[in-house]
Amino acid sequence: MEKEYESKDILFPEEGHPLTEEDTEDIAERIQDLVEQDQRPEAVEVISHLHPADQGEVLDELPVETQQQILEALPPEEVAEILEHLDSEDAATIAGGLEPDVLSDILDETDPDVTADIIKQLPEEQALDVIGEMEEAEEVIPLLQYPDDSAGGLMSLEYVVVKDSATTNEALDTLRQQEPEVEDIRSIFVVDADEHLVGELSIARLALAKFGTMVRDIMDTEIIFVTTDTNQEECARVMERYDLDQLPVVNEEKRFVGVILSEDVIDVIEEEATEDMYKLASISGERVSGPLRSSIKNRLPWLSLNLATTFLAALVISLFESTIAKVVTLAVFLPVVAGQGGIGGTQTLTLVVRSMALGEITKRGGIRLLGREAILGILHGLILGIIVGLVAYFWKGNYMLGVVLGLAMIGNLIVAGLTGAGIPILLNRLKIDPAVSSAVVVTTCTDVIGFLLFLGLAAVFISFLL
């Protein structure tokens, strides 16, 4: 039975109004109903009224078979716009089910940098078939050589470039000729006879210049650029530091090859922040909609490693079995010591790893950071140590238990601060990604040392605890 939709506003939202998640789900449900009722033209009409970004979100809610039916019915240029608003993985997933001849027509209408990102995500045989069918393959193939996370993989080939020997009249002619092909012209890049980047010329300065003036006489020669192998995270830092809305890219011979736009960097910042967060939780590359096999492959090794480290903590506790047997109350407070140390270490670790990603920590600054975290550990330890000591005293009626617990808390929070800051700094020096390995090491250190401090002090003062 066909469902009733009371308002057409959901199916054809007012222009300028962004869709909510609920709207997206409702539209996807309506499209699926229409397809199941063999009303594909009506389904295509519904999705055609949406912004390309919303079209991508709606398609993502649909079954793969329905996605393919909709994409095959839409004009290639419209599908190209949809793919340009998706990340490369989602775009490849949605487009990957299409026949090579259909997909090649779509990718011919897609920005070359986006096309390259999508092709890299496809199986090798399918990628070769698609490239073989494409008319614009020569624009895409050079981009396939660059890693996804490099400036070369991020750059766009849509730009306007003129020779430094050109006049303003010639530069304006070039601008008019290339304007239909370049959607967003922010400035003109200037190269010499060997294609080396030598300057940049704003549209405003070109428009105000006298006819016949040489471009080299009015161009800005103080330009910031990166090479094709520069990491995308560094590109984002450069653009943020110098407040750039575009960043030229050169190859090893310093020849101009592309430009990175500010909107691309926004995606990079989000991607890198998400990646760091996932790495801290040891689930890098995983998605909630991903296959179970992938999730198990991502998580199980780290869970196994963490299991091994918990046995190490258990071994420490076993060394004090006789002490715990005499004062069973000690077992009650073990989670308190471990929990506070773990949280303190994680707080510091998260701050340090993110600061490293943003380039805020220098080699000299690392030593100052260790001192700062040690002081914070002492202060936090004193405050929390006094609190838990008083709680232990009033709860169990033994002042020495409170003293032992308080001292262990102070020591463990100092350790948490030092390890939370020191371990990622050390791993970074060793060229190991601190976001990947630090969390397990920090947690192990705070658990083991926390238990050693608490139970060791309890063993020393056992006569006062009985």
Amino acid 396: pLDDT: 84
Give domain limits for the chain. Answer: 8-146, 161-267, 292-465
DSSP bridge pairs for 256: 250
The pLDDT assigned to 299 comes to 75
Can you tell me the mean pLDDT for 159-182? Answer: 87
Q: What is the DSSP string of 145-182?
A: GS-TTBHHHH-BS---EEETT-BHHHHHHHHHHHTTT-
Contact 157, 139 (CB under 8 A): yes
Question: What is the CATH code for 8-146?
Answer: 1.25.60.10
Q: Which of 3-17, 40-54, 84-98, 342-356 has the lowest mean pLDDT?
A: 3-17
Percent share of the chain, pLDDT over 70: 89
Express each pLDDT in 273-285 by its tens digit.
666 666 666 666 5
Instruction: Report the Cα 100 to chain-centroid distance in Å.
Output: 30
Average pLDDT, stretch 101-107? Answer: 90
Name 190's bridge partners: 162, 199
Encode pLDDT of 155-165 as tens digits: 988 889 999 99
Quick: pLDDT tens for 433-445.
777 778 888 888 9
Show the tokens assigned to 259.
């430009």
Token pair 């967003």 in the structure block, residue: 184
Which residues have CB under 8 Å from 280's CB, separation 6+? 349, 350, 353, 435, 438, 439
Mean pLDDT, the chain, whole residue set? 85
Residue 2 pLDDT > 60: no
User: Torsion-angle region of residue 182: left (phi > 0), alpha (psi -120 to 50) or beta?
Assistant: beta
Is 292-465 CATH 1.10.357.20?
Answer: yes
Class of domain 161-267 as given by CATH: alpha beta
Angstrom distance (rounded) from CA 356 to CA 437: 15
pLDDT of residue 281: 63
Quickly count: other Cβ atoms within 10 Å of residue 105's Cβ.
19
- What pTM was estimated for this model as a whole? 0.64
Q: How far apart are CA 306 and CA 297, in angstroms?
A: 15
- C-alpha to C-alpha distance for 55 and 80, rounded to whole angstroms: 11
pLDDT greater than 70 at residue 464 = yes
Residue 270 has pLDDT above 90, yes or no: no
